Structure 1
Amino acid sequence: MTGGGELLPATVILGASRGIGRSIAKIAARDVATVVLVARSEAHLEAVAEEIRSAGGRAVVFPIDLASRDASKQLESFLAEYGLFCDVLVNNAGYGLRGAATLLPIADQLGMIDLNIRTLADFTLRFSPGMARRGRGGVINLGSVASFLAGPNMAVYYASKSFVRSFSAALSQELRATGVTVTCVAPGPTATDFLDSSGAGRATLFKILPKLSADYVAEQAWRGFRSGRRLVVPGVSAKVLIVIATVLPNSLLLPLVSRLQRRKSDLCPCGSGETSAKCKCSSLRS
């Protein structure tokens, strides 16, 4: 802690305890003086911080539930207490759920909106004005290749990532003349806990697509941000998917995505109580 004086710049990574956030934290620590690791699990954050410190970097941990309505305000106070300001913000926190929107728990789907959209917007809107005043720094928002299309059987997740891409592009344009960079990263499937925790890893779509490593995505994200890029799409397969999503009409694309993200053991969304494999309703014939 500091007793006053000039604040020093820090890179703040939300969702830094694992996956892409953890990898970005380790990469950022090589370039900047201080990284601030933010997530819910203090034990996981400390493990990442120790890796960074062992490599000669400086890391500070701030465990908090990012879904808390005052989380960004608490972080702002924490940074000031440590004599820091948010120079670069990495919005990596979020989660996904696979399944029919009519069958997944409503609270879980609304929680996804809160974390993937509201939290990202809250932290960005709190810290980007200071970046603009200082004429430096920026924001890295973790989106997804899913942001380029609608996603039957992962409807809310895909929609939330569309918000991230749209919001990032607009903010990038608004801040273009200030020296602040806003980069949206849109990777395809990545070998992280997300595939298991969301249930997506058991769907055909995610079985057939090649998986990127979290370290590769993080390197591409950081490099793209440092070069001032508005959008970074790591991996050839993700780029191909975007082209397909752009070219195919929704009349073909949506049934295809729906089928590839559905499992035979899923309950049919029509409410019959039958599984997708057995139900004869018209919703599954497309």
Structure 2
Amino acid sequence: MVRNILSNRLFIGLLILVICAVAGIYLLQMQPPDEPIIIYKPVEVEQPVVPKPPPGETAESGHWHGDEWHDEPHETHAPPAAPAVSGSVPPGAVTTPDFPPVDANDDPVAAAYKRLDYISKNPYAWGGVHSERATELIAELMPARLAADHSEGDERILLISELTQQNDPRAAEALIALMIDGGVGAVFMEDALEAIGPPAVPYILPYLEKGVAEGGYIGPAVFYSLGRIGVLFRDDLGGIVDHIIIPKLAVIAADEDAEFYKYPAQRRANEVLTQLGR
């Protein structure tokens, strides 16, 4: 009996020791580990050594490229222009006409072409906005060519109509090209050119100049669009009307027998000259 009791006590003692050992191990695992000790060593940063310019040179007169000395300063490049946002005027674009002054001693024809160049470089000065859809339509419609069939012609008219609704003066180039080289004639296209105003003239005028030089047939859109814009924007166009458009129309009108310019170019030229007060 005693032996059984002692035996039970030994068993109980061993059991208690096992329980204590397990509990101790568990408590040790629950304690967070000590944070590692990080030792930072100071590091000396070597500054790049810029070699001195060669004898007789300065930092302003040139620069090093590796081991080679270039006796010219570095070229500075302007940062790229911010992209135009559809539905707004491109960044930095002129929104009000501000023509450069004209010297009274300048040749009037040369001054007129300078004015034309100013207009071509500042198309948003007479209103309008940049349209990404216009960019897509112009790319799809240009270069101008004759439609292959009625189906293509009808589809093209729809695209042109959409282009005229974009309020983007860049459409002028495509509109006049499609009327002259693409065989498309529509009143709404002439209305759109008139609405664009002076920025359309740099694209229309080359067709008049080509017609004067080469003779033959000259599309009616050339005459009537220049006449309508010339009347409405006479002050803005200035010498362009008096020293470029009118003299060239007069050359065509003078060919009364249609020997060089195909009829009815003479009649149309006279009609526009009358519009412009000549």
Query: Which protein is richer in strand relative to its size?
Result: 1
Larger Rg: 2
TM-score for both structures, normalised by structure 1: 0.30
Q: Larger relative CO (CA 8 A, sep 6+): 1 or 2?
A: 1
